[in-house]
A and B are shown apart, each in its own frame.
Chain A
Amino acid sequence: RKEVEQDPGPFNVPEGATVAFNCTYSNSASQSFFWYRQDCRKEPKLLMSVYSSGNEDGRFTAQLNRASQYISLLIRDSKLSDSATYLCVVTLNNNDMRFGAGTRLTVKP
């Protein structure tokens, strides 16, 4: 079983749509959780951290369920500029980061 699993997609949605990505992780000792965004041929950039209480940043909402070892990202009112690959990242207690394979999102006019 992979350490971090994501649905690879692709997700093709129209502008304005709401889209949700899911991610599961296998190591119950995982400490920190993040969503990164990666554009084609570029380095990943931090989108947001994920907390057990859930957190929201504008159109983006992230949730963490430790009991189910599950992370989610919700994007509301999708923009063309949201097209990218979204990486679920889990950090172990030694700061080792484990990446999901990424979910590709394409937002179409």
Chain B
Amino acid sequence: GAVVSQHPSWVICKSGTSVKIECRSLDFQATTMFWYRQFPKQSLMLMATSNEGSKATYEQGVEKDKFLINHASLTLSTLTVTSAHPEDSSFYICSAIRGGDTEAFFGQGTRLTVV
């Protein structure tokens, strides 16, 4: 099956610093990658959709200058949380779709804690 690897799995950072999260499709080319955020006891909320080589499309209410997404290749997308605040503490998950598929494959998630 298709594998999506997300790194790091957890990170603690200080307020004001930036954190980069990587999402890699290991055995397929991902035409589209998605980034989600999940607060405790809540559902996954789509933050942005990322297509290789083009700018990400952000959902309403998600600051594109704060959550920088780079989809440099068909196997790698990165999410950078800039100037992190404690309220950015959350579980961030990426997913990837193979060309022609509708099924999404999820990374393991990254638990971010901003102190």
Q: A: which residues have CB within 8 A of B?
A: 31-32, 34, 41-46, 49, 87, 91, 94-102
Residues of A within 8 A of B108 (CB): 42-43
In the assembled complex, B34 has its CB within 8 A of some CB on chain A:
yes
Q: Which of B36, B44, B49, B102 contacts A32 (CB 8 A)?
A: B102
Given contacts A101-B42, A102-B43, contact A42 B102 (CB under 8 A): no
Binds A, one of B60-68, B69-77, B90-98: B90-98
Chain B, 13-56, CB within 8 A of any chain A CB: 32, 34, 36, 42-46, 49
Listed by A's residue number, 15 A-B pairs whose Cβ atoms lie within 8 Å are A34-B103, A41-B91, A41-B109, A43-B106, A44-B44, A87-B43, A87-B44, A95-B32, A95-B49, A95-B102, A95-B104, A96-B46, A97-B95, A97-B104, A99-B44
Q: Which of B6, B43, B111 contacts A99 (CB 8 A)?
A: B43
Measured CA separation A46–B97 after assembly (Å): 13
Q: Tell me if B's interface is mostly helix, strand, loop or mixed.
A: strand
Residues of B within 8 A of A32 (CB): 102
**Size band of the interface chain B makes with A:** 20 to 34
Q: B: which residues have CB within 8 A of A?
A: 6, 32, 34, 36, 42-46, 49, 91, 93, 95, 97, 102-104, 106-109, 111
Whether A97 contacts B93 by the Cβ 8 Å rule is no
Number of A-B contacts (CB under 8 A): 47
Measured CA separation A99–B111 after assembly (Å): 19
- Say how far B29's CB is from chain A's closest CB, in angstroms: 15
- Say how far A55's CB is from chain B's closest CB, in angstroms: 14
Whether A43 contacts B107 by the Cβ 8 Å rule is yes
Measured CA separation A46–B11 after assembly (Å): 26
Residues of B within 8 A of A94 (CB): 49
Residues of A within 8 A of B49 (CB): 94-96
Given A34-B103, A43-B6, A94-B49, 7 more pairs with CB closer than 8 A: A43-B93, A43-B108, A44-B106, A46-B103, A91-B102, A95-B32, A99-B45
